[in-house]
Amino acid sequence: MSRIVPVMLACLLAAASVLQAPAAEPPARPELTLEQAVERVQRDTHARVVKAETLRERDETLYRLRLLAPDGRVSTVMVHAASGRVD
What span, in angstroms and rounded, lies between the C-alpha atoms of 87 and 84?
A: 10
pTM for the whole thing? 0.66
| Better pLDDT: 60 or 28 | 60
Domain edges within the chain: 4-80
**What confidence category does residue 6 fall into, taking pLDDT thresholds of 50, 70 and 90?**
low
| Better pLDDT: 61 or 22 | 61
Contacts of 51 (CB under 8 A, 6+ apart): 65, 66
Contacts of 66 (CB under 8 A, 6+ apart): 49, 50, 51, 52, 74, 75, 76
- Using a 10 angstrom Cβ sphere, with 0-12 exposed, 13-18 middle and 19 or more buried, the burial of residue 58 is exposed
Q: pLDDT tens digit string along 16-58?
A: 555 565 656 655 667 999 999 999 999 999 999 999 999 999 9
